[in-house]
Structure 1
Amino acid sequence: MAWRSSQALLQRESSSKIWARAPLLSRGVTTCNSPPTTTQDTSDVLLQTKNGEAIFAGLSTKELVRTLFNLHLVAYEPMVDLSLKVLTSPMMRYALFQVPVNQVVKRTAYSHFCAGENVEEASRTLQRMWELGLRGILDYSSEDATDNKSCDKNLEKFIQVVQQTNQLPQGSVSTSCVKISAICPIQLLERVSNLLRWQHMHKEFKLPWKQDVIPFLAAESPTYHVTSPPDPLTKDEETDLALAHERLSKLCKTCEQEGLPLLIDAEYSSVQPAIDYIIYVAAAEFNKGSWPLIYGTMQAYLKDSFSRLQFAVKGSHERGLSYGVKLVRGAYITRENELASSLRAPSPIHSNIEGTHRCYDSCATFMLEQAANGDGAVVLATHNMDSGRKAAAKAQELGLSRRDPRVQFAQLKGMADMLSLSLAHAGFRVSKYLPFGPVPEVIPYLVRRAEENRGLLGNTVHERQAIRAELRRRLLQA
């Protein structure tokens, strides 16, 4: 089924040149162990990151003060530690304790990182982003469903959110998003992942339910999760897997009708093979047109990410499919390292942050080249200013239009606003992830963000300095 929304995208957003197809991998291929293709340093011209007056021109002084206050809070580790203890305390089961805590959370971390308690509140946040030149990705934060009933309930909510986007300013929502663990029981994802890993190691191992899809495991992919042949899926498990395929298909059809691409998040390695498999089954149906409807996610902190990315692009091309991917660094470092250590296996994550940076930039360069050839589309989800600069410069070097829907940037609400606004001012398409939902339901999301992104939350010194400088400038001019 071709994606009918390619024309809708062009009408809703802006016309862009569709580049002629060229053979894949025709350009020099970089690896994660070598620096990406060098580019002439035009980043300082493209992104005026040192001009605080221009970057923050659209933000009121009140908004800047509130942002600075919240950034100081999340950068102060003792405060983060205390908050995590309170939010995960057994006392949160009691209303007398929970209600005042939720009120404090709503006025601080929740208001900074989340868009509102429902679609109506989220739409007002989205409208503000739109005024600043940013789009939004409405993120109904739900995951780790345990049964079909909860999966069906989550699907209804995802579909409702997609359908309600047509009530928002035209073009203000760039994509929808979902976690497969919200529409497929988590235990089943673990079972399917282990079976897929075992088949990857033993090609003769048969999986009668498995469809022929794009390769999603590489030679470097970790297999320590399984050490003996897993039991085959039961009939009930096969039925549940088919239901998961149906749920994703229903969501894709809704996105297709609304002309809205669908970003599917990556998760932790114990379930990622099953997630990729389910994504690629749907991609075989919905990515047949010139534009991808479905975007999977690659986490550059994984050692096998560049190889898997190459497989995905090559496999899509061979099957006549368009390929879309969201590139992130990764958000499950603690979990991955602890699991590998418990199994006495090497960590699947690069041994240092420099390795992750190199891999991210190599993946970004590779996908920008595919986009320039008309062979792929990429959402560069990064909070790293250097990666943003390099990607912007590479896009310009390749002749990619800054309004081309094949190249987009994204950051979480409340994080890396300097990068988001700098890219938007330079003319690139930029979206902010806008998680929403009632405060008690979103608290687990906030806890995970704090636990997994502790270093990132604390590394806001340059943004805080820029905000203080702009506030000082406004005060002196008052």
Structure 2
Amino acid sequence: MARLPPGRPLVRMLRACNASKHYMSTPMFLQSRAAHTIQSHAVTKEPLPIASGLSALPNKMLGRSLLIATISSKSYLLIPCLKLLSFLSKPGRSRLLSVDKNPFIHAILRKTFYDQFCAGETRKDTVSTIKGLKDMGFRGVIMTFAKETVFDHRTKTEHGVGEALLINKEKGLPVESVNTQNADIDTWRKGTLETIDLLEGTDYLAVKLTGAGPTVTAAFADQKPLPKQMTDALDEIASKCQQRDVRILVDAESQRFQWGILDTTLNLMRKFNRSDRAIIYNTYQAYLKSTASTIQKHMEAASKENFTLGLKLVRGAYINSDERSLIHDTKEDTDSVYNTIALGALKQEIGKYGGDGLPFPKVNLFLASHNKPSVLAAHALHQSRIQVGLPTVPVGFGQLQGMSDEVSFGLLALKQKDGQTPEVYKCSTWGSMSECLAYLLRRAVENRDAVSRTGDELNALRSEAWRRMKGMFISP
């Protein structure tokens, strides 16, 4: 049954937006660099049924999405928002400027950016959000505890590590001399275990290892062994997820810490990914020049040591803070790497593995992407190989809560050979407003850097909103 048309608040919001243009979905093909791998598996020329998909959005969510998309598509609105979020995210703000303690600032952020991209500040709020997403048809959620550390390469500073590290640096003392690291690790461990309690067997736990504090980030930065308390915490978390059949996506983070994170996660795979179903996934960022070779090294380890490689592929979200020379020169280069890895994994042909080369190791693939051509090409290739009996790998798809709903619902509208929908997930985070600020800032930056996608989203949302408005006056 179709949802009732929106009421007056949505009408007022629509009037505040620019004149609407009906969204048109046209056939799209991937970048020319990856054309040789994509053209033989091009997506169907039938347009994605975006309008009917967005009809699953409740009126309140549609209205908020329309507001955020409008802000994100207008630089004169988005840039001030970015500056404000960046300012508020710095540590040591006074009570007047605290997002947790100033009720006015808290309310504005909560009703806009926070509710759009985050699941909740409490367990109750988070459980309600998870239920709402599953009721809309998603296979499950990807949930993370918000606490993390971000290293800004330009300013050489870390944000989100807590006052202990800041005070320690000011005194010129080594990080190890502060007696609060154990508390930092324990707080992160408890928050992560609490997150697992919110999840079911169809869900993923996303883990930000830098949230464990200064001792851990220092070890990652120097590529030294983690403290035993941290390795014990990781084993406890992974064991609990294994018992509950919840899979773990270890997030990619600032490049200063990433090599240590990759090694730590690979060791967890060696221990917990002993069956064909991966429990632990590493996150590989396609925008890094080193990613293709890193994946091949990890595939070699999986092949020799007989474990399943959990491969989560993203484009990358730290372009504003990571060293620019480590990142591909153009978006087209990043797109080419992403598509080549994704389609290569689905064909079981990457580098020296597969085809006429060495046997392809066991791989479970998760594609986190808001790029419609990439997602559709991957799904089409996966289904075509299943239909003709060619080997492939298990694959799931994920988009962030509050972003690319037309892609998510479009995927849900596609039926597979067995009549089921693709495995589509929404990724979110939970925690206090201050803990989520770094996450919110990255979402705003992503919207700024993806102008064409944001424009498409805005057009799709406008089209759906006008469809509902017409329903107020036109009988079926």
| TM value normalised by structure 2 | 0.74
Instruction: Give the residue type in structure 2 aligned to 1:383.
Output: H
State the secondary structure of the residue aligned to 1:255: helix
Partner deviation per Cα, 1:5-40 (whole Å, 9 max, x = no partner):
xxxxxxxxxxxxxxxxxxxxxxxxxxx965462344
C-alpha separation between the residues in 1 aligned to 2:196 and 2:366? 19
C-alpha separation between the residues in 1 aligned to 2:34 and 2:428? 34
State the secondary structure of the residue aligned to 1:130: helix
Pick one of 401, 420, 433 that aligns with 2:408: 420
**Partner residue of 1:67?**
65
Pick one of 174, 187, 195 that aligns with 2:203: 174
C-alpha separation between the residues in 2 aligned to 1:96 and 1:242? 38
C-alpha separation between the residues in 2 aligned to 1:315 and 1:128? 40
**Is the Cα contact below 8 Å between 2:398 and 2:427 reproduced in 1?**
yes
Structure 2 unaligned spans of 5+? 1-31, 150-160, 166-180, 355-359, 415-420
State the secondary structure of the residue aligned to 1:138: strand
Instruction: Give the residue type in structure 2 aligned to 1:93.
Output: S
Q: Residues 185-334 of structure 1 correspond to what in structure 2 (within 5 A)?
A: 185-186=213-214, 188-194=216-222, 240-334=226-320
Q: Residues 351-370 of structure 1 correspond to what in structure 2 (within 5 A)?
A: 351-370=329-348
Q: CA deviation at 1:96?
A: 7.5
**Is the Cα contact below 8 Å between 1:42 and 1:393 reproduced in 2?**
yes
Q: Does 1:439 align with 2:433?
A: yes
C-alpha separation between the residues in 2 aligned to 1:61 and 1:405? 37
C-alpha separation between the residues in 1 aligned to 2:316 and 2:97? 37
C-alpha separation between the residues in 2 aligned to 1:61 and 1:40? 40
Q: Residues 96-135 of structure 1 correspond to what in structure 2 (within 5 A)?
A: 98-134=102-138, 135=140
State the secondary structure of the residue aligned to 1:466: helix
**Is the Cα contact below 8 Å between 1:136 and 1:174 reproduced in 2?**
yes
C-alpha separation between the residues in 2 aligned to 1:311 and 1:303? 14
C-alpha separation between the residues in 1 aligned to 2:393 and 2:242? 16
Q: Residues 87-102 of structure 1 correspond to what in structure 2 (within 5 A)?
A: 87=85, 88-89=87-88, 92-95=93-96, 98-102=102-106
Q: Residues 16-55 of structure 1 correspond to what in structure 2 (within 5 A)?
A: 35=35, 37-40=37-40, 43-44=43-44, 48-49=47-48, 51-55=49-53
C-alpha separation between the residues in 2 aligned to 1:460 and 1:266? 23
State the secondary structure of the residue aligned to 2:199: helix
C-alpha separation between the residues in 1 aligned to 2:464 and 2:400? 22
C-alpha separation between the residues in 2 aligned to 1:405 and 1:431? 18
Classify 1:366/1:137 alpha carbon distance in 2 versus 1 (closer, same or farther; 3 Å): same
Instruction: Give the residue type in structure 2 aligned to 1:422.
Output: G
State the secondary structure of the residue aligned to 1:297: strand
State the secondary structure of the residue aligned to 1:176: strand
Partner deviation per Cα, 1:326-348 (whole Å, 9 max, x = no partner):
100001112223xx5xxxxxx11
Classify 1:107/1:92 alpha carbon distance in 2 versus 1 (closer, same or farther; 3 Å): farther
Q: Does 1:407 align with 2:405?
A: no
Partner deviation per Cα, 1:202-221 (whole Å, 9 max, x = no partner):
xxxxxxxxxxxxxxxxxxxx
Classify 1:348/1:444 alpha carbon distance in 2 versus 1 (closer, same or farther; 3 Å): closer
C-alpha separation between the residues in 2 aligned to 1:109 and 1:63? 12
Q: Does 1:377 align with 2:377?
A: no
State the secondary structure of the residue aligned to 2:72: helix
Q: CA deviation at 1:439?
A: 2.1
**Partner residue of 1:164?**
198
Q: CA deviation at 1:363?
A: 1.0
Partner deviation per Cα, 1:46-101 (whole Å, 9 max, x = no partner):
x842x333222322444323321121123333333323443425895224873201
**Partner residue of 2:144?**
139
C-alpha separation between the residues in 2 aligned to 1:429 and 1:178? 20
Partner deviation per Cα, 1:335-392 (whole Å, 9 max, x = no partner):
223xx5xxxxxx1111000000000001101222349978211110001111111111
State the secondary structure of the residue aligned to 1:379: strand
State the secondary structure of the residue aligned to 1:44: coil
Instruction: Give the residue type in structure 1 aligned to 2:146.
Output: S
Instruction: Give the residue type in structure 1 aligned to 2:291.
Output: S
**Is the Cα contact below 8 Å between 2:50 and 2:409 reproduced in 1?**
no
Q: CA deviation at 1:476?
A: 2.7
State the secondary structure of the residue aligned to 2:425: strand
State the secondary structure of the residue aligned to 2:396: strand
**Is the Cα contact below 8 Å between 1:176 and 1:263 reproduced in 2?**
yes
**Partner residue of 2:77?**
79
Instruction: Give the residue type in structure 2 aligned to 1:268.
Output: S
Partner deviation per Cα, 1:251-278 (whole Å, 9 max, x = no partner):
1011011111100001122211111111
C-alpha separation between the residues in 1 aligned to 2:452 and 2:437? 19
Query: Which aligned runs of 4 or more in structure 1 are off by greater than 6 angstroms?
Result: 371-374
**Is the Cα contact below 8 Å between 1:294 and 1:324 reproduced in 2?**
yes
Q: CA deviation at 1:187?
A: 5.6
State the secondary structure of the residue aligned to 1:411: strand
Structure 1 unaligned spans of 5+? 1-31, 196-232, 341-346
State the secondary structure of the residue aligned to 1:243: helix
**Partner residue of 1:455?**
449
Classify 1:129/1:374 alpha carbon distance in 2 versus 1 (closer, same or farther; 3 Å): farther
Instruction: Give the residue type in structure 2 aligned to 1:349.
Output: I
C-alpha separation between the residues in 1 aligned to 2:468 and 2:317? 37
**Is the Cα contact below 8 Å between 1:162 and 1:255 reproduced in 2?**
yes
How many equivalent residue pairs?
387
Classify 1:64/1:389 alpha carbon distance in 2 versus 1 (closer, same or farther; 3 Å): same
Classify 1:451/1:187 alpha carbon distance in 2 versus 1 (closer, same or farther; 3 Å): farther
C-alpha separation between the residues in 1 aligned to 2:73 and 2:453? 7
User: How much identity, in percent, do the aligned residues show?
Assistant: 26
| TM value normalised by structure 1 | 0.74
Classify 1:53/1:271 alpha carbon distance in 2 versus 1 (closer, same or farther; 3 Å): closer
C-alpha separation between the residues in 2 aligned to 1:444 and 1:334? 12
Instruction: Give the residue type in structure 2 aligned to 1:74.
Output: S
State the secondary structure of the residue aligned to 2:469: helix
